[in-house]
Amino acid sequence: MTPQPTGPRPDAAPREPEATSPGARTPFGTRLHAALAARGPLCAGIDPHAGLLHEWGLADDVAGLERFALTAVEALAPVVSVVKPQSAFYERFGSRGVAVLERVVAASRAAGALVLLDVKRGDIGSTSQAYADAYLDPASPLACDAITASPYLGFGSLDPMFDTARRHDAGVIVLALTSNKEGPEVQHARLEGGGTVAGRVLDHLRELNAGAEPLGSFGAVVGATIGETSERLDVNGPLLAPGYGAQGGTVEDLRRIFGVASGAVLASSSRGLLRAGPDPRALADAARRANDELAALRP
């Protein structure tokens, strides 16, 4: 049975609570720390894979995308601390897909969730600044609480994003140790003088977050299925851990990988949650169960 459209009407202006606005003059790290305490460490990925649209009985078109995404927002955004839409799954439908993404961002924030837009942008100079303006400036229709970014053009290439995030009380979460099999050839590469590329990324984040309380606004992506690591992961900022749930990452894995930094972990699940749909109640229940399981990570 095909689900009916849910979420705000196209002509509705979603309520935008001050607490989750990038311009609320409260740093992202502070807002995230409060959200983790209130709602738990689960991050809900809203990734409209073609296969998931099919599983929900929806066509792989803009109408199917909209029904899928807004149903997921209706169910998950009132329950989880962070909603993480993957931009590519909206961009593949062109401007109409990006318009749906704008509604996902606005409706999620209206429901009280922080929005981490998974874009993994990384460039230099004015282009890096343009990405920052697109996603972190409240004047943009795609303004979010935080974005993901890639540091592999050199960590300093992300300075425009960090500077813009500071100006607008937003966050940036940077790729450090990812679970994909190709990652180690770059991330594990050794530097002159010792240490790894990933370790240097983590060091830079630790410097950016120095003195921040209760949590810095600049974090690292560290996969929940990386196995063992000797890197120091406590960066005094968020630790986004994709791979929890359907991809095999468990609470025990998160405890082992992150150790004393487990309280800053944001465990991300997309397919594992979304396959509970299209019934909104089943989606919300799946999120609550995951948060109950993840509660063991909190101090």
Which sequence positions are flagged as catalytic? 120
Sort 170 into a burial class: Cβ within 10 Å, 0-12 / 13-18 / 19+.
Answer: buried
Q: Buried (b) or exposed (e) across 125-161, using 16+ Cβ within 10 A? A: eeebbebbbbbbbeeeebbbbbbbbbbeeebebbebb
CA distance 169 to 171: 7
CA distance 46 to 83: 7
Closest alpha carbon to 243 in 261, 219, 264, 268: 268
Yes or no: say if 224 and 242 are a contact pair by the CB < 8 Å rule.
yes
